[in-house]
Chain A
Amino acid sequence: MALLEISSLHASYGLTRVLHGISFGMEEGTITTLLGANGAGKTTTLRALCAMVRTEGEIRFGGQRIDGRATEDIVRLGVAHVPDGRGTFVNLTTEENLRLGAYTRKDKGAVEEDLARVYGYFPRLKERREQQAGTLSGGEQQMLAVSRALMLRPKLMLLDEPSFGLAPLIVGELFGILRAVNAKERVSMLVVEQNAAMALDLADHAYLIETGRVVLSGTADEIKRNDAVRRSYLGY
């Protein structure tokens, strides 16, 4: 069964329509990426899934309709959003940030285990656990945002530009961990990326979005070989 099904989703900021009836789906356990130019509506799509913008249309998560529900309730179903700009709680410590990720969970014992596991993925965060999160570097804050999302033990992770502003080496490290999490913990991921080449290497499936609509869809390999995509987004 499809984990996520979106049909003719519209979204707008005030009077400005950004999504014009976008439809796509993703299977459980997969990594799907949304590609597209700036302003195509990728971030808005992720925000729409979490009820952070006004929407019309249908969103089903695990078969259940979630459009019209509050952000807090969608999170409780197991959707973790790594937002654009990282969403760090800058005045709290690294560890407090992580604990907030597990705020809705009832299994407190397992939360401690997950904290250790996340520190295992990102030892740098462990070194900085008592430090104010606002003083972390951009890369560390991105790791923190991903880790905070993992602390929910999500079924689906929404990642908005995880590579933004990171040194290539760190991007490689981060994507390696995302791949491992997907494989080991069966966490499905919907990734929005400006770095199309990296995103297509990570993903199983890809959609190309232009002005708020899906214009192309296929497996990551198919999309990679598509001439138009290659010229416009991969640059060779």
Chain B
Amino acid sequence: MDAFFHQVIAGLATGGIYASLALALVMIYQATHLINFAQGEMAMFATYIAWTLVEAGMPYWAAFFLTVAFAFVFGVVIERIVIRPVENAPVLAVVVVFIALLVILNSVTGWIYTYTIKTFPSPFPAEPIFGKYLTSHQGGAIAVTLVVLLLLFAFFRYTPLGLAMRAAAQNPESSRLVGIRVGWMLALGWGLASAIGAVAGVMVAPIVYLDPNMMGGVLLYAFAAALVGGVDSPGGAVFGGFLVGVLENVLGAFVIGNELKLAVALVLIIGVLVVRPSGFFGKVLVTRV
């Protein structure tokens, strides 16, 4: 029982990270109806920036916030330069751009930093909290995730800019008619998604270690999380993230073994797509003909 409890809590910690990345995916999906395959690599690149800053002697939290700010600007710039030109292109063309972005970021990072695996510092003390159940880093990661989610919720729910971003994602034409600069709202969405991804990257790096391929598995879990929750539902993505994290850990520890953990994500993805494509919280699309 003890071991089970331990696995659940560890699952919540990684689940929070999946939830953040899933949320980033959902944000882009809501505005563009496309899944940004490069979301993980963008987060990975930002994590390397954080590593560079920390290595250069910057205090951890200063490096953290600077990295998040960098990731935000990075996201905006990518939207403006890479995504904007293919705004009206066919879906496949955009998907190719996403995949190109993934490969480019991966190889550029490998080229700059080499593919050697690096350790990444955690800002949280080494001794565990809550007895033996939770390492401080796990507890800290959960806390950071919750703060990010709360801030994001408050931003979208209570600020005029958040409202305008939701409006622009839903109904671009009406948004223009009330004076919202829809193009900039999309760019802002990319910036936010990228910043959230950076937080996820920095939080997961002490666990999976830093290397250019670190986000591959994480992104797959985030896909599964977004799909389980419903790919158009931010709340669903968060729920899905925690659920996937717990399932992955518990099943990995007691049922299928650690080697097959990633298969959990794949089975979930296929299972959801077959049984309930709209996920737990997604809207079921009904079209009148």
CA A83 to CA B175, docked complex, whole Å: 12
Question: Known contacts being A75-B179, A76-B179, A103-B179, is A87 close to B160, with CB within 8 Å?
Answer: no
Interface residues of B in 163-201 (CB under 8 A from A): 163-164, 166-167, 170-171, 173-182
The listed residue with most A CB atoms (<10 A of its CB), out of B164, B174, B181, is: B174
Chain B residues with CB under 8 A of A104: 178-179
Chain B residues with CB under 8 A of A212: none
Size of chain A's interface in residues, with CB distance under 8 A? 24
Question: Which of A4-12, A94-102, A223-231 lies at the interface with chain B?
Answer: A94-102
For the complex, is A130 an interface residue (Cβ under 8 Å from B)?
A: no
Interface residues of A in 119-137 (CB under 8 A from B): none
Chain B residues with CB under 8 A of A152: 178-179
For the complex, is A52 an interface residue (Cβ under 8 Å from B)?
A: yes
Chain B residues with CB under 8 A of A92: 163, 166-167, 170
For the complex, is A90 an interface residue (Cβ under 8 Å from B)?
A: yes
CA A101 to CA B160, docked complex, whole Å: 11
Return the CB mask of B145-168 against A: 1 if under 8 Å, else 0.
Answer: 000000000000000100110110
Tell me if B179 and A81 are in contact (CB < 8 A).
no
User: Main SS of the interface on chain B?
Assistant: helix
Tell me if A87 and B171 are in contact (CB < 8 A).
yes
CA A80 to CA B181, docked complex, whole Å: 15
Chain A residues with CB under 8 A of B164: 100, 103
Chain A proximity of B112: nearest CB distance (Å): 39
CB-nearest residue of chain B relative to A104? B179
Tell me if A71 and B166 are in contact (CB < 8 A).
no
Size of chain B's interface in residues, with CB distance under 8 A? 17
Return the CB mask of A46-72 against B: 1 if under 8 Å, else 0.
Answer: 000010100000000000000000111
Tell me if A89 and B177 are in contact (CB < 8 A).
no
CB-nearest residue of chain B relative to A87? B174
Tell me if B170 and A103 are in contact (CB < 8 A).
no
For the complex, is A91 an interface residue (Cβ under 8 Å from B)?
A: yes
For the complex, is A205 an interface residue (Cβ under 8 Å from B)?
A: no
CA A122 to CA B249, docked complex, whole Å: 55
For the complex, is A42 an interface residue (Cβ under 8 Å from B)?
A: no
CB-nearest residue of chain B relative to A96? B163
Chain B residues with CB under 8 A of A213: none
13 contacts between A and B (CB under 8 A): A52-B176, A72-B181, A75-B176, A83-B173, A83-B177, A87-B174, A89-B167, A89-B170, A89-B171, A91-B170, A100-B167, A100-B178, A103-B180
